[in-house]
Chains A and B, each alone.
Chain A
């Protein structure tokens, strides 16, 4: 499989690759009642992706397609089955625990539900001090100073340090979650569904905050989301996943204006657009994704694909580059 590299439009300033994932697989064993392994659930299968410094790459797909597993495997929360993950020159899977702790200062992950990832019995202040206590040798005064700076960066009043997580709103919890990882000055942040569960008016302010913080702290984001309109708004590049594989990747505008994989096309046509044509009048994709433990042979999308042929049934289409930025895994892409 070809690995994708965003191309140097500007030869004088080559893009630095911060995260390089090569043929990554993560399989979960399926055990029967006697704890014998009866099969594998291929949550990620042969995924290659490289992320350039300073970009926002979106990973989209429906629930169960493996996008969160991808984020967690990159973080080292799940151990990988095959392949390699290279972050800032070191191999994530091969590090000793002490080394991987160093690595995690630079590579951070925000959980989907910040309310439940904050300790309900700790005040916000304690939660914000904790990462600094673990990862740095700052004394209490320096830590307090750092926490104060971060709190200002995410637009939270200092009075919130003495509140408990349940006393603040969902949007504020999201800000605390962000503040908590930013205190360590990471370089890559994996945002897992960062806007799910927020109301649109709050979502808009949080998205603007992401963009401001990216500029202020020189961040790179991996933006995992199922909300395509949000992804279109803030990502530079987008990778579309279906059942554990990347099926199309392109620069955001090109992907949205000219999707080539049949799945990408139906996914995009399913987004309701206010003022546009109604999806319910012309939406044609039928059925639901198959059970990931019983994958179809060949192309994984073929059971729902209008264009399937014998070839799709026999072999799985590789992810092939059609141009420097664009790659699609389909035997019959539209052009």
Chain B
């Protein structure tokens, strides 16, 4: 096992609301290895996007509170890096971002080309360090444009020149998402955070985009943090899956083990509630708790059928089952068995 590219340790993030502090991330731990695609799966409101934003350092400043933990990226704790340094050297350079809705991420009044070239000016791998009123001379523009066109070919947009002259509304949703992937790849980052990149797309386009994302990740050795609520999409491309529930990460395992042999009661129920023609499906009774008044201990215990008094008392520790399969539960058979063997 090599050294993790990104590791999040005991991260705690809260938001101040009128109802009190909403503890959106509660002691979250996870690692991403270089070149790995990690799926961060969970239902809406479980803290996936908050985690992604915390890594990028773009949490809303007046309400978010990071009370504990660290985010280590290439040996540096991103929480200690100055805002200026984060903006010019990390965000959009080492870590880039693919949003859920590409249409609202483009500026509608500029052509796609001018927006990509703007990005190139500041974030291209050979761009000089940021200076106010920086010139963007012709020779750099030409070489950057060539690089952009190459990249558009990589993301399978054959008519690159044509696309660059268009406005964002003139291209289809699938093409916009391809452009977003191209823009995320431009600075040659070490890691891409893809926040529900295929949720707004149709299945046939989703399949194309997932295939593309997988290909670029493998070819360029870029790690991808892929947040999604769709377990099917996670199955398609992820090497490792981490499941979150109400701000706690509950289970994390390599993809092959995760889907064939889930251990946490929530994960098991989540997989059972996927629509299937072959079996009866069951939902999970109850609903996601309010985070301002989150359950004590294991946050899943009010909806869990195996819950014991211990579950509401204290937060279950992370149990390492076997290589890389971790679990946060007191009562899963797997945990009980492994304790007996100890």
A residues with CB within 8 A of B: 62-63, 169, 171, 199-208, 226-230, 232-233, 252-253, 256, 266-267, 270-275, 278-280, 283, 285-286, 288
User: B interface, how many residues as a size bin?
Assistant: 35 or more
B58 contacts partner chain A, Cβ-Cβ < 8 Å: no
Q: List A contacts of B271 (CB < 8 A).
A: 274
B236 touches A229 (CB 8 A): no
A229 touches B274 (CB 8 A): yes
The CB with the most chain B CB atoms within 10 A, among A229, A252, A266, A280, is that of A280
B211 touches A283 (CB 8 A): yes
The interface residues of chain B, by DSSP majority, are classed as: helix
B231 contacts partner chain A, Cβ-Cβ < 8 Å: yes
B270 contacts partner chain A, Cβ-Cβ < 8 Å: yes
Q: List A contacts of B281 (CB < 8 A).
A: 204, 207-208, 233
A273 touches B232 (CB 8 A): yes
B210 touches A208 (CB 8 A): no
Which are the 7 A-B pairs with shortest beta-carbon distances?
A272-B232, A205-B283, A204-B283, A199-B43, A62-B202, A204-B273, A201-B284
Q: List B contacts of A266 (CB < 8 A).
A: 204
The CB with the most chain A CB atoms within 10 A, among B204, B259, B287, is that of B204
The answer to whether residues A201 and B43 also contact, given A266-B204, A275-B259, A285-B204 and a CB cut-off of 8 A, is: yes
B229 touches A199 (CB 8 A): yes
Q: How far is the CB of A203 from chain B (nearest CB, A)?
A: 7
- B223-266: which have CB < 8 Å to A? 229-233, 235-237, 259-260
B43 touches A228 (CB 8 A): no
> Once bound together, how far apart are the Cα atoms of A318 and B205, in whole Å?
27
Contact of B203 among A169, A202, A226, A274 (CB under 8 A): A226
Q: How far is the CB of B105 from chain A (nearest CB, A)?
A: 19
B137 contacts partner chain A, Cβ-Cβ < 8 Å: no
B287 touches A169 (CB 8 A): yes
- Mark each residue of chain B from 169 to 213: 1 if its CB lies under 8 Å from any CB of chain A, else 0: 000101100000000000000000000000000111111101100
B residues with CB within 8 A of A: 43-44, 172, 174-175, 202-208, 210-211, 214, 229-233, 235-237, 259-260, 269-277, 281-285, 287-288
> Once bound together, how far apart are the Cα atoms of A230 and B229, in whole Å?
16
Q: How far is the CB of B153 from chain A (nearest CB, A)?
A: 15
The answer to whether residues A288 and B284 also contact, given A199-B44, A203-B275, A226-B203 and a CB cut-off of 8 A, is: no
The answer to whether residues A280 and B276 also contact, given A274-B232, A274-B259, A288-B205 and a CB cut-off of 8 A, is: no
The CB with the most chain B CB atoms within 10 A, among A200, A272, A273, is that of A200
> Once bound together, how far apart are the Cα atoms of A272 and B231, in whole Å?
9
A203 touches B283 (CB 8 A): yes
B211 touches A227 (CB 8 A): no
> Once bound together, how far apart are the Cα atoms of A275 and B204, in whole Å?
19
B203 touches A288 (CB 8 A): no
Known pairs A204-B284, A285-B207; list 18 more (Cβ under 8 Å): A63-B202, A199-B43, A200-B229, A201-B270, A204-B281, A204-B283, A207-B275, A229-B275, A232-B277, A233-B281, A270-B204, A270-B206, A273-B232, A274-B259, A279-B207, A280-B214, A280-B236, A283-B208
- Complex A-B: 25 CB contacts under 8 Å: A199-B43, A200-B274, A201-B284, A202-B43, A206-B283, A226-B203, A227-B275, A229-B274, A229-B275, A232-B277, A233-B277, A233-B281, A252-B277, A270-B204, A272-B233, A274-B231, A274-B235, A275-B235, A275-B259, A278-B235, A280-B214, A280-B236, A283-B204, A283-B208, A288-B175
> Once bound together, how far apart are the Cα atoms of A39 and B276, in whole Å?
43
B203 touches A267 (CB 8 A): yes
Q: How far is the CB of B128 from chain A (nearest CB, A)?
A: 38
> Once bound together, how far apart are the Cα atoms of A256 and B288, in whole Å?
34
A275 touches B206 (CB 8 A): no
The answer to whether residues A62 and B204 also contact, given A202-B283, A273-B232 and a CB cut-off of 8 A, is: yes
Q: List B contacts of A286 (CB < 8 A).
A: 208
The answer to whether residues A283 and B269 also contact, given A200-B231, A233-B281 and a CB cut-off of 8 A, is: no
Q: How far is the CB of A56 from chain B (nearest CB, A)?
A: 13
Q: List B contacts of A169 (CB < 8 A).
A: 287-288
> Once bound together, how far apart are the Cα atoms of A286 and B205, in whole Å?
9
In chain B, what residue has the closest Cβ to A206?
B283
A275 touches B260 (CB 8 A): yes
